[in-house]
Amino acid sequence: TPRINCICCIGAGYVGGPTCAVIALKCPEIQVLIVDKNQDRINAWNGETLPIYEPGLDEIVKHCRGRNLFFSTDIDAGIRDAQLIFISVNTPTKTYGIGKGRATDLQFVEAAARHIGQIATGKKIIVEKSTVPVKAAESIAKILYSNIDDNVSFEVLSNPEFLAEGTAINDLLQPDRVLIGGSQTDPGIEAINQLAWVYEHWVPPSKVLRTNVWSSELSKLASNAFLAQKVSSINAVSAICEATGADISDVAHSIGLDKRIGSKYLQASIGFGGSCFQKDVLSLTYICEALNLTEVADYWHQVVVMNNYQKKRFARKIIQCLFHTVSNKRIAIFGFTFKKDTADTRESSSIYVGKYLMDEEARLVVYDPKADKGQIISDLREVSSQDPQRVDRLVSVINDPYDAAKDAHAIVICTEWDEFKALDYEKIYNSMYKPAYIFDGRIILDHAALLRIGFHVEVVGKVMKKPVNDLTPF
């Protein structure tokens, strides 16, 4: 069988863009066409400032673009020319109807599949790259086959993406594994081999796993559920630390040295965010319920419950420390993205911390090195649905951390950006209202130094000493 020489990716987002840029880099003989219905996004991919920030991405795109990497809104042409098509569209949590708030919304996957069914001719391999509920490939196959004539044939593969935002390029260049699920028939295995061949341009064959479609789909949801569960577990422990005087950094360190557990994802914080963890755990619980596995659904759902608790607990701590009233107080929010090294704010814990503080009429001044100002405002408006005007009244976004902290009663560290460690906190302290508070929701600052300056310091999972010059009773 001839090898693949043209790949199309439908969906130029956080996954489709970086994934296919790396394929273009590593497979110079393959033409890679990334298509999207969003004209602005495609313009940005073709312009100077790419639509997503990801360390290392710029160089790769600028190297390959116009050679074997192309961005376009001509979806028809992409489908027509490619032998292999990735579906990498968004699969958010449903916000309406049956399964609202938990089930995966598959409308974009279905639309992409229908589009392929209308346009495709000849033999095509369709690769489900989006994260989908188990058995979604069956629906895709049905849709594809419903509109075709005799000279068209499809093989549907599942090839979930394990990259993490902020480290996407490294994750893609050196993946822990690549997972390819396909039907266990001769044409199915042939299609798996074709896709494996693409990855084996740079991934050692031992890391390219081949399974049936359902195992592959379930592995993605289950991996995210395990990671989210680890974060919720350590966050649950952080609450115990604050109540007892144990120190979460010491506890996490000791737990993480157990090789069976490992140190990754044991960083306590204000809760996990991002577009995937919550959505995928919810999707898994919804599937469990549909399968009548109520206890299994409850078990995984508790991971999300714990995450919501952590966000709320942190916000409550802020309000409580600021003498039970933050009404009209200026509070500087440092960091709005869901983690460092990305501009992505989807499901960021900052949004919810901000919401709880706005509920108490606090004035928020947000500083983030990468997040888009308009996005910050619209994220906060979305959680203020009863009173969207309050965002205009209470929130400002500022592009300098010192200006943000000036005249503030408190600084709240919501994202672990490295630059927050290097700020001049003496200068910041002098410009703030006293007593000046810092709430370190990411455990990144030098707390002893802050105490020496005179700050009141509150840290997730730690009980801090009072400032040296503070004589008020505990």
Which residue numbers are catalytic? 276
Looking at beta carbons only, is 238 or 283 nearer to ligand NAI?
283
Closest Cα to residue 4, out of 123, 167, 165, 135? 123
Compare residues 216 and 238 and give the one whose CB is closer to ligand NAI: 216
| Residue 235 amino acid letter | N
Cβ atoms within 10 Å of 270's Cβ, excluding its own? 29
Amino acid residing at 439: F
Binding track, positions 118-157, relative to ligand NAI; x by CB under 6 A: ------------xx--------------------------
Q: Are strands 152-158 and 122-128 parallel, antiparallel or unpaired?
A: parallel
Q: Which is nearer to ligand NAI, 15 or 408 (CB)?
A: 15
Cα–Cα distances (Å) from 422 to 172, 251, 269, 350, 417, in that order, read 30, 26, 20, 21, 10
Q: How far is the CB of 423 from ligand NAI (least distance, A)?
A: 28
Strand partners, 7: 32, 84
Q: How far apart (Å, rounded) are the C-alpha atoms in residues 34 and 24?
A: 10
316 is in an annotated binding site: no
The number of residues that bind ligand NAI (CB under 6 A) is 27
Residue list 48-87, contact with ligand NAI (CB under 6 A): 75
Task: Determine, following the binding rule CB under 6 A, whether residue 444 of this chain makes contact with ligand NAI.
Answer: no
Return the DSSP state at 205. Answer: G
> Considering the complex, what minimum distance in angstroms separates the CB of residue 196 from ligand NAI?
19
Residue 112 near ligand NAI by CB under 6 A: yes
Which DSSP state fits 421?
A: G
Distance of alpha carbon 330 from the chain centroid: 29
Nearer to ligand NAI, 108 or 265 (CB): 108
- Residue 112 sits at φ, ψ, to 5 deg, of -65, -40
Q: Which residues inside 14-53 make contact with ligand NAI, applying CB under 6 A?
A: 14-16, 36-38, 41
Is residue 13 part of an annotated ligand binding site? yes
The CA distance from 165 to 150, in Å, is 42
Q: Which of 7, 8, 11, 439 binds ligand NAI (CB under 6 A)?
A: 11
Q: Is 450 exposed, middle or buried (0-12, 13-18, 19+ CB in 10 A)?
A: buried
Other beta carbons less than 10 A from residue 377's beta carbon: 16
Binding mask 263-282 for ligand NAI (x = CB under 6 A): ------------xx------
Residues 159-198 touching ligand NAI, rule: CB under 6 A, are: 161, 163, 165
Residue 165 among known ligand-binding residues: yes
473 in a labelled binding site: no
Give the nearest distance from C-beta 220 to ligand NAI in angstroms. Answer: 7
For residue 258, the surrounding DSSP H or E stretch is: none
130 is in an annotated binding site: yes
Burial class (CB in 10 A: 0-12, 13-18, 19+), 149: exposed
Name the 3-class secondary structure at 81. helix
CB within 8 Å of 283: residues ≥ 6 apart: 93, 102, 103, 104, 131, 133, 221
CB of 403 to ligand NAI, least distance (A): 31
Tell me phi and psi for residue 440, to 5 degrees. -95, 95
Nearest approach, Cβ of residue 255 and ligand NAI (Å): 26
Residue 339 CB, shortest distance to ligand NAI, in Å, is 10
Is residue 354 a contact residue for ligand NAI (CB under 6 A)? Answer: no
For ligand NAI, the binding residue among 27, 78, 79, 88 (CB under 6 A) is 88
Q: How far is the CB of 392 from ligand NAI (least distance, A)?
A: 27
- Report the interface residues with ligand NAI, using CB under 6 A: 10-16, 36-38, 41, 75, 88-91, 108, 111-112, 115, 130-131, 161, 163, 165, 275-276
- Residues placed in the known binding site for NAD(+): 11-16, 36, 41, 89-93, 130-131, 165, 276-279, 346
- Residues placed in the known binding site: 11-16, 36, 41, 89-93, 130-131, 165, 276-279, 346
